[in-house]
Structure 1
Amino acid sequence: MANIFGSSKKDGKADGSNPGTPRQSEDNSRPQPTGRNYDSREPDERTRLLPQQPRPPHQDGYLDPDDPAVSPYNLWSVRFTRYLTVLFLIITFLWWVLLLVCIFVSPPGMHSRGSGFFDFSYTTLTAGNLLVALLFFSAPSRAMRVSTGIVAFVLLVDMILILAVPRVRSEEGGVGIASVVWAVVMSIWCIIADRIVAWGKREEEERLTGRPETRRTVREWLAVLIATTILVIYIIIVILTTATLILRSIDAGLPFAGDRYPVDGDKYSVHLSCVGNTTSAPTVLLEAGEEPSEYDFEHWAYAAWQNGTIDRYCYWDRPGYAWSDNAPSPHSAGMSADALSEALARAGEEGPWILVSAGYGSIVSRIFSSRQRGVRGLMMVDPLHEDLLHRIGNPGRGFVTWGWGVLSPLGVTRIGGALFKGRTREDRVYGRSAHTGGKFLKARLQENLVAESFTQREVSQSRNIQSANTPVVVVSSGIKCRIDDEWRRKQEDLSHLTEALIGWDVVNKAPHKVWRTLEGRKVMERRLADLVKAAGKD
C-alpha cells in the first residue's frame, strides 16, 4: 500500500504538500483558509467538518460589528448633537441654581407671585431629561423616544393650562412660563437627538459592516431598560404635576369676599375683606395664626358681629395664605405688617382699630400696633412670644418645609383628597388641605428663614415703642400652658406688654386654637366686648 496514493507516510508528503498543512482542493477557485494547522490523523466524531475561523477583519473591506471603529460618533452631525445637548444641560443647570436661590432670596425681576416650586420642578425635570439623553446617548431606542414623547406632550398640556388660566398665569409669571416652555422644547430636542443618533448608528453600520445591525449587546439592552424605566418615572411625575395644575386651575375660579390689593410696588397682591357698616366704634382687625383667617378664626368674629358684640370687622390673608400672592423672599412679620397697612390704605380703611390676633399672627399685630396710630386695643389669643421664635425658626423644620414644597407640584395629598376624600375647592384654598399647597408652604418657609433674625428684631423693637396706654387682653390655652411651662411663663410676660391690661384668661380645656371650644369662644367674646367698651371711653 506504499504507493497507492502516490506518496508515503514516511516522508509525510501528500500530493506535493508539506506535512501538517491541509491538502489543497482540486478546485483552485475556492478560497481556502490560511494560517491554521490541522492534524493529519484520521477524522473521528470529535473532528469538526469545517474549520472554525473568525470573520476576517478586512474581508471585502468591511469591519466586524463589534469593532470600536463602528460608532455613530464618526459622524460630525452626531457629535454636534451631543455638544448641543451638553450645552443645553449646562444652561438648564444654571437656571436650576438660579431658581433654587429664588426660593430663599428673590433677585430683582425674578419674583413670581406663586410659590416658585412649579418652575423649579419643571427645570429639575428638564435637567433630568437631558441627563438621561447624555448618559444613554449611544444606545438610542424607540422605547426612549416614545417615553420622551409622552413627557413632551404632557408638558405641552401644562404650558397651555398655565397660559390659558389668568390666575395661574399671574402666579407663575414670566419665570414660570419660561421654565415650562423650556421644558417642552428640551423634551422635543431629546427626541430629535435620539433619532439623529439612531440614524447615525445605522449609517455607520451599513458603511463599515455592510449591513445594519439588528442585534443588541447585553450592555445596550441594559442601557435601554434603565433609560426607559427612568423616563416612565418622569411620565408619572408630569402626569401628577398636570393633575395638580388642573386642581389649581379649578381653585382659581373660587369666588371670595372683599378684594385683592397690590402692595410693595405692585410686586404682589393681598386679599382684604370687611364685614359690617362703618360706625363710630372701632373696627376689629383680625390677624390669624398658623392658618388662613377664613378657615375658622373669622367664623368666630362673624358670630360676634351677628350678635351685636362688634359693629364691623376686617380680615386679610398674609402673603402666601388663601387668596394672597406670595411675597418676594426674604419676608418677615414686619413686612407683612407694612403690606397690611398699604392694603388698608388702598381700600380706604382708616380705623380706629381693635387688633385681634392668634399664634404667629400676634407677632404681626404687635408690630402693626407699634407702627400705626389709631389702635384702640390689642387682643392676643394664645400668642407666640418673641423669645420662642426659635421654635419656628428651627433649621430642621425649615428643611422639612422646603422638602414638602419641592414635592408640592406632585400634589399627591391634594389629588388623593379630591378623588377619595371629597375635598373641595374651599378645603384646598383656605381649609383643611390648604397646608399642602405650594404657596402656603412657601409662606411658612419664609417665616422660618427670618424668624430669629428680621422678625425677632422687628418685634423686639415694637415692644420698645408700643404705646403704654393701649388696652391689652391675653387669652391662653389651658392645655398648652399645662404641658409647656415655658409657654405659660411667656403668656404671662405678654400680659405685661402695656400698662393697661384688661385681663389675662387661661381657658382650662381649650387647645391652642382657643375658639374651637365653647368656653373659649365665650371668653374671647366677653373680652372683646371689654375692649370695645374701653375704646369707647377714649
Structure 2
Amino acid sequence: MASFWGSRKRNADAAESNEARDGEHQYGDPTERTRLLPSDNNQGPLSPDDPAVSPLNLLSVRVLRSIALCFLGGTFICWTILLVSIFVTPPLMHSRGSGFFAFAFTTLAMGYLALGLLFFAVPSKSIPIWGGILAFFLVVDMLLIVVVPRIRQEEGWVGIISVVWAIVVSIYQIIQNRAVATGKREEEERLTGREETRRSLREWLAVTVETVALVVMALAAILIMATLSIRIRDATLEPRGTRYSVHGESYQVHLACVGNRTAENADEPTILLEGGYGPVEHTLQPFMEDAYRSGIISRYCYFDRPGIGFSDNAPSPHSAGMTADALSEALALADETGPWVVVSAGIGSIYSRLFASRHLLEVSGIFMIDPLHEAYLNKVGSSSHGFVLWLRGVISPLGLDRLAGAILRGRTREDRIVGRSAYQSDKFIKAKLQENLVAVTMTAAEVQSARNVQMGETPLMVISSGREIQKSAEWGQRQEDLSHITNKLLSWDIVHDAPHEVWTVTAGRQLLEQRLREMVKASHAHRSQK
C-alpha cells in the first residue's frame, strides 16, 4: 500500500516537472513579464483587453513613469515658487522683467508632464509630431531670450532656466511616448500573438484630447515667440535720458532732464514730473516740453516709475514710498540736486507727495493736477482689480493685444513702451499689480506719514477737473482736502468741462501755463526767504 502511494506521488512530481519544463520552453526563464501571467500557462494567448497586456509590465516603462512623476512634483514646486514670487520676490529670484514669461514656460512644462501621465498608457503617432513642434519653438524662444542682451537681462536666470526646463520636458515626453509605444507593441505580440491595431472609443478620446492639448501648447509657444520678437524690436528704442541702477543695483530706472544749468537760470527751480496712470511721456511730458520751449520753465526732469516706460520692474512688494526712494537715488546718481517743484497728475500725486515729504529742504513747490486722494487707495487696492491684473499678467506672454496692435493697427515701438499701448506690456501689468497689492497697507501708511511731516510753508497749487467733480461730489471734497496739505495754498482752480487730464483741453492748458509761471516765481521767493 505504501509502495502504491509512493509510486503515485512520484508520477505526480514527474508530471509537474514536465509541465514546468513545457512552460519554460514556451515562455523562457521567469522574468518581470511572466510573473504577471496567470499560473495556468496552457490557456494560450491572452485577450487584447486583458489587464495583463500592458506596457507597464516592462521595468523600463515603469521607470520612465516614475521619472515623469518626479519631474511633475519638482515642476509643481517651482511653479508654486514662481506664482508666489509675483507677489513676494524670494531672495536671488528677482528678474528685471515681469516674471510672467518664466511662469508661462513653467506652466507649459507642468501641463505637458501632467498630460503625459494622464494618458501614459495610450501612446499615439501624433504626439511626437506635435511634441517636436512644441520643442522646436521652445528652442527658438530660448535663443531669443539668450541672444538679445536686453531680454536676457530682463528675464534673468529664472527665465532662462524655465524655458530650458520646458525644452527638456518636451524632449523627454517624446522619448517617453516612443518607449511606451514600443513596450505596448512588444507586450501585445508576446501575450496575444499579434500587435493590436484597433483602438477603443476611450483610447480615441484620450488621443484626441492629448493631441488638441499639445496643439494648444504649440500655439502658445509660437505666440510667445512672436511676443518676444516684438520685445526685441522694442528693445532697440533708446530712451531720452539715462537708466540708473538703484536698490543695490537690482534694477534700473529711467530718468531724463531737459535743459542746462546756466548763470541766468541758476536760481530757478527744476520741474520734476510724475506721470499719472500711464507713462509720463504719454501724459504730462509733452505739455511740459511745450512749456520749456516757450520759455515758461527753464528746466525739467521726468522719471519712469519701476515697470513703466523704460524702467525695469522692482522686486515685490513695492510701495509708492519705495518708488520715491528709487527716484531719490536716481537723482543723486545723475548729480541732480534741485531745488524742485514737483508737478504730478492723478495717482502720480501720491508719489510726488511722498518725494516732497522726504526732501523738505529741496522741494520749493507742489503742483498737482486733478490729484488722487489717498481715500481712493482702497479702489486701487481692491481684490477684484488685483485678480484682473494677475489674470492679464498670466496671459500677457501670449501678446494677443500687442500682436493685434502691431499687425492690424500699426502700433509702433513708442506706442508700446511710452504710448497708448503701454498698458498692454507685461512689465506695466506687473507694476500695476504691485501698486494694487500694497495700496491699502504700505502705501496708505506712507501717505499718512507724509501728511504729518510735510513742510507747512511749501507753496501749493491744485488744479481740478470740472467733469470729475460733476460726476462725484466726493471727488470735489477730496480735491479741496488736498488743497490743505500745506499752509501755503497759492490757488485751487476748477477747470469746467475739462477731463481728468486737464491739459488736453485748451482752457486747461492755458490755465496750467499761467499757474506754472506763478509757481516758478513763488518757488523762487520761497527759496529766498529761507
Same fold (TM over 0.5): yes
Task: Give 3-state SS (helix, strand or coil) of 1:104's partner.
Answer: coil
Shift of 1:340: 0.1
Q: Hey, what's the Cα distance between the residues in 1 that align with 2:82 and 2:281?
A: 31
Is the helix fraction higher in 1 or 2? 2
Structure 1 residue aligned with 2:493: 505
Q: Hey, what's the Cα distance between the residues in 2 that align with 1:296 and 1:462?
A: 25
1:450 is matched with which residue: 433, 438, 444? 438
Structure 2 residue aligned with 1:426: 414
Q: Hey, what's the Cα distance between the residues in 2 that align with 1:76 and 1:526?
A: 84
Q: Hey, what's the Cα distance between the residues in 2 that align with 1:375 and 1:268?
A: 26
Task: Give 3-state SS (helix, strand or coil) of 1:63's partner.
Answer: coil
1:78 is matched with which residue: 61, 64, 72? 61
Structure 2 residue aligned with 1:273: 256
Shift of 1:58: 6.3
1:473 is matched with which residue: 448, 454, 461? 461
Q: Where do 5+ consecutive residues of structure 1 fail to align?
A: 1-56
2:129 is matched with which residue: 143, 146, 155? 146
Q: Hey, what's the Cα distance between the residues in 2 that align with 1:473 and 1:535?
A: 11
- The amino acid that maps onto 1:355 is V
Q: Hey, what's the Cα distance between the residues in 2 that align with 1:170 and 1:519?
A: 45
Residue pair 2:275, 2:283 contacting (<8 A) in 1 also: no
If the length of structure 1 is used for normalisation, what is the TM-score? 0.88
Structure 2 residue aligned with 1:490: 478
Q: In the TM superposition, what whole-angstrom CA distance separates every residue of 1:146-187 from its partner, at most 9, and x where no partner exists?
A: 111111111110000000111111010011111111111111
Q: Hey, what's the Cα distance between the residues in 2 that align with 1:314 and 1:253?
A: 23
Residue pair 2:276, 2:283 contacting (<8 A) in 1 also: no
Q: Hey, what's the Cα distance between the residues in 2 that align with 1:492 and 1:296?
A: 23
Structure 1 residue aligned with 2:247: 264
Shift of 1:297: 1.3
Q: Hey, what's the Cα distance between the residues in 1 that align with 2:196 and 2:513?
A: 83
Q: In the TM superposition, what whole-angstrom CA distance separates every residue of 1:60-100 from its partner, at most 9, and x where no partner exists?
A: 84222222111100000000000000100001100000000
Structure 2 residue aligned with 1:178: 161
Trace 1:111-260 onto structure 2 (pairs within 5 A): 111-260=94-243
- The amino acid that maps onto 2:47 is D
Shift of 1:503: 0.4
Structure 2 residue aligned with 1:298: 285
1:397 is matched with which residue: 380, 385, 406? 385
Q: In the TM superposition, what whole-angstrom CA distance separates every residue of 1:297-340 from its partner, at most 9, and x where no partner exists?
A: 10000000000000000001000001100000000000000000
Q: CA RMSD in A?
A: 1.1
- Aligned pairs, number: 482
Structure 2 residue aligned with 1:313: 300
1:341 is matched with which residue: 314, 322, 328? 328
Shift of 1:239: 1.2
Residue pair 2:97, 2:155 contacting (<8 A) in 1 also: yes
Q: Hey, what's the Cα distance between the residues in 2 that align with 1:126 and 1:514?
A: 48
Q: Hey, what's the Cα distance between the residues in 2 that align with 1:296 and 1:361?
A: 11
Q: Hey, what's the Cα distance between the residues in 2 that align with 1:391 and 1:513?
A: 19
Asked if 1:355 is matched to 2:376, the reply is no
- The amino acid that maps onto 1:502 is L
Structure 2 residue aligned with 1:380: 368
- The amino acid that maps onto 1:125 is L
1:532 is matched with which residue: 506, 516, 520? 520
- The amino acid that maps onto 1:142 is K
- The amino acid that maps onto 1:317 is D
Q: In the TM superposition, what whole-angstrom CA distance separates every residue of 1:372-410 from its partner, at most 9, and x where no partner exists?
A: 131110000110111121111111111111111111111
- The amino acid that maps onto 2:347 is Y
Structure 2 residue aligned with 1:66: 49
Q: Hey, what's the Cα distance between the residues in 2 that align with 1:374 and 1:63?
A: 89
Q: Hey, what's the Cα distance between the residues in 2 that align with 1:114 and 1:268?
A: 9
Q: Hey, what's the Cα distance between the residues in 2 that align with 1:455 and 1:345?
A: 23
Q: Hey, what's the Cα distance between the residues in 1 that align with 2:382 and 2:298?
A: 41
Structure 2 residue aligned with 1:326: 313
Percent of aligned positions with the same letter in both sequences?
56
- The amino acid that maps onto 2:507 is E
Asked if 1:369 is matched to 2:383, the reply is no
Q: Hey, what's the Cα distance between the residues in 1 that align with 2:224 and 2:404?
A: 13
Q: Hey, what's the Cα distance between the residues in 1 that align with 2:217 and 2:389?
A: 23
- The amino acid that maps onto 1:244 is T
Q: In the TM superposition, what whole-angstrom CA distance separates every residue of 1:219-250 from its partner, at most 9, and x where no partner exists?
A: 21111111101111112211111111110111
- The amino acid that maps onto 2:203 is E
Structure 2 residue aligned with 1:53: none
Shift of 1:59: 6.8
- The amino acid that maps onto 1:327 is A
Q: Hey, what's the Cα distance between the residues in 1 that align with 2:501 and 2:283?
A: 9
Task: Give 3-state SS (helix, strand or coil) of 2:281's partner.
Answer: coil
Residue pair 2:467, 2:500 contacting (<8 A) in 1 also: yes
Q: Hey, what's the Cα distance between the residues in 1 that align with 2:431 and 2:207?
A: 42
Trace 1:8-19 onto structure 2 (pairs within 5 A): none
Q: In the TM superposition, what whole-angstrom CA distance separates every residue of 1:24-66 from its partner, at most 9, and x where no partner exists?
A: xxxxxxxxxxxxxxxxxxxxxxxxxxxxxxxxx9678422222
Q: Hey, what's the Cα distance between the residues in 2 that align with 1:509 and 1:212?
A: 80
Q: In the TM superposition, what whole-angstrom CA distance separates every residue of 1:351-387 from its partner, at most 9, and x where no partner exists?
A: 1101001111101111110111311100001101111
Task: Give 3-state SS (helix, strand or coil) of 1:62's partner.
Answer: coil
Q: Hey, what's the Cα distance between the residues in 2 that align with 1:395 and 1:180?
A: 31
Task: Give 3-state SS (helix, strand or coil) of 1:284's partner.
Answer: strand
- The amino acid that maps onto 2:172 is W
Q: Where do 5+ consecutive residues of structure 2 fail to align?
A: 1-39
Q: Hey, what's the Cα distance between the residues in 2 that align with 1:507 and 1:58?
A: 96
Structure 2 residue aligned with 1:40: none
Structure 2 residue aligned with 1:30: none
